[in-house]
């Protein structure tokens, strides 16, 4: 402790003032001088003991901080006593908790990134392998013309699938990073539905499915037309895929004081009860999903809707169809 210059300066200062006091006391009487000497010695000793105690506590905090920098967040330095040291200990503990939470979040982000890269690699591997095989077959100069046309069409389909997957993943990355710009326009729901059904009209026509729409033309919500249409299209594609030929898809919408609700229902296969909790997870593919399904459309729809102060729920009974309930709230929930 005495190697510290601040302690030496304090001791020197107190000794100097004590010496001056003793000399002054000698001018009064010898008894007064002795009393001054004893008093000065007691004060200097108490001061040194208290300073030693503070330095020990500070040394403990330094050791604690070194433990934190090495990644040990399990120590607890809090105490309930009054004083600056106790306040400092509690503040350091709060910072320790914050660092621990940040470290946990970083670990979670690393795991999510690893899983995402693994999922993406898996999803790209299948179409790339298929295209490689078909490209080898196309290199055969004696290949039948009809087969050649079929392989080219298959390669084109796989390229479209890869393109859609990359596009969806880019949208995910924008939403996750918070860089996606969602407008807060007053959107007419009938316009949203009209824009959303266009990409699925041809597949519905091929399967001879019936589309029914119910709702008032005066129904609005605050949101982004293009992003919301992306979400609705993905839900409609899911419905078309899981509804048999000749089936029916119904869209109904309404508005009240709290929210605007859009219900998309079908009379298709329905979803098994055990799959419903996982339905909006990325790359989740149910037992009834087609081979071409990537398992990302409903997850993207949920991300878009929740990013606009909305919610999406699903009700389904195997063999009886599925209902998606979408709500866009008018106030932040």
pLDDT digits (tens, 9 = 90+) for 164-212: 888 888 888 888 777 888 999 999 999 999 999 999 999 999 999 999 9
Q: What is the pLDDT of residues 216-238, one digit of tens each?
A: 999 999 999 999 999 999 999 98
Q: What is the mean pLDDT of residues 301-330?
A: 92
| Beta-sheet pairing, 310-317 with 321-329 | antiparallel
Average pLDDT over the chain reads: 86
Instruction: Answer yes or no: are the C-beta atoms of 135 and 108 closer than 8 Å.
Output: no
Instruction: Answer yes or no: are the C-beta atoms of 228 and 264 closer than 8 Å.
Output: no
Q: DSSP label at 273?
A: G
Q: What is the pLDDT of residues 22-53, one digit of tens each?
A: 888 888 888 888 999 999 999 989 988 988 88
Place of tokens 């609005």: 220
Strands in 248-255's sheet, in edge-to-edge order, are 210-215, 248-255, 259-266, 321-329, 310-317
State how far the Cα of 67 lies from the Cα of 96, in Å rounded to an integer.
Answer: 11
Q: What is the mean pLDDT of residues 298-325?
A: 92
Place of tokens 């959107």: 187
Q: Is the pLDDT of residue 319 over 60?
A: yes
Place of tokens 């000698």: 26
Would you state the pLDDT for residue 1?
Answer: 63
Identify the band that residue 92 occupies on the pLDDT scale cut at 50, 70 and 90: confident
Instruction: Answer yes or no: are the C-beta atoms of 211 and 204 closer than 8 Å.
Output: yes
State how far the Cα of 206 lies from the Cα of 245, in Å rounded to an integer.
Answer: 8
Pick 68 or 266 by higher pLDDT: 266
Would you state the pLDDT for residue 261?
Answer: 96
Would you state the pLDDT for residue 292?
Answer: 67
Q: Which long-range contacts (CB under 8 A, 24 or more apart) does 5-13 make?
A: 7/48, 7/51, 10/47, 10/51, 11/44, 11/48
Q: What is the mean pLDDT of residues 238-246?
A: 91
Q: Is the pLDDT of residue 15 over 70?
A: yes
**β partners of residue 313:** 325
State how far the Cα of 168 lies from the Cα of 87, in Å rounded to an integer.
Answer: 50
Q: What is the mean pLDDT of residues 248-277?
A: 92
Instruction: Answer yes or no: are the C-beta atoms of 266 and 250 closer than 8 Å.
Output: yes
Would you state the pLDDT for residue 322?
Answer: 93
């Amino acid at each position: 402790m005495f190697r510290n210059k601040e302690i030496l300066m304090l001791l020197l200062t107190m000794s100097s003032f004590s010496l001056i006091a003793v000399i002054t006391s000698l001018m009064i009487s010898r008894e007064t001088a002795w009393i001054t000497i004893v008093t000065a010695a007691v004060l200097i000793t108490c001061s040194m003991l208290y300073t030693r105690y503070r330095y020990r506590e500070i040394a403990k905090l330094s050791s604690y901080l070194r433990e934190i920098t090495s990644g040990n967040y399990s120590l607890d330095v809090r105490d309930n006593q009054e004083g600056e040291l106790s306040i400092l200990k509690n503040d350091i503990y709060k910072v320790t908790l914050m660092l621990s939470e940040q470290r946990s979040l970083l670990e979670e982000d690393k795991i999510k990134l690893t899983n995402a890269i693994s999922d993406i690699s898996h999803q790209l591997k299948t179409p790339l392998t298929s295209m490689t095989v078909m490209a080898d077959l196309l290199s055969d100069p004696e290949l039948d013309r009809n087969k050649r046309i079929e392989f080219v069409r298959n390669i084109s389909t796989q390229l479209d699938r890869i393109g859609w997957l990359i596009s969806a993943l880019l949208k995910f990355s924008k939403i996750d990073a918070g860089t996606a710009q969602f407008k807060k326009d007053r959107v007419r729901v009938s316009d949203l539905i009209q824009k959303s059904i266009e990409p699925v009209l041809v597949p519905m026509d091929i399967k001879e499915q019936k589309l029914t729409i119910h709702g008032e033309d005066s129904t609005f919500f605050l949101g982004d037309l293009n992003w919301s249409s992306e979400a609705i299209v993905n839900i409609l594609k899911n419905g078309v895929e899981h509804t048999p030929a000749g089936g029916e898809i119904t869209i109904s919408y309404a508005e009240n004081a709290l929210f605007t609700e859009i219900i998309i229902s079908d009379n298709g296969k329905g979803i098994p009860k055990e799959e419903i909790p996982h339905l909006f997870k990325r790359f989740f593919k149910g037992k009834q999903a087609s081979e071409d399904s990537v398992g990302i459309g409903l997850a993207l729809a949920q991300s878009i809707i929740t990013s606009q102060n909305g919610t999406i729920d699903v009700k389904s009974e195997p063999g009886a169809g599925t209902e998606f309930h979408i709500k866009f709230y008018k106030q932040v929930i």
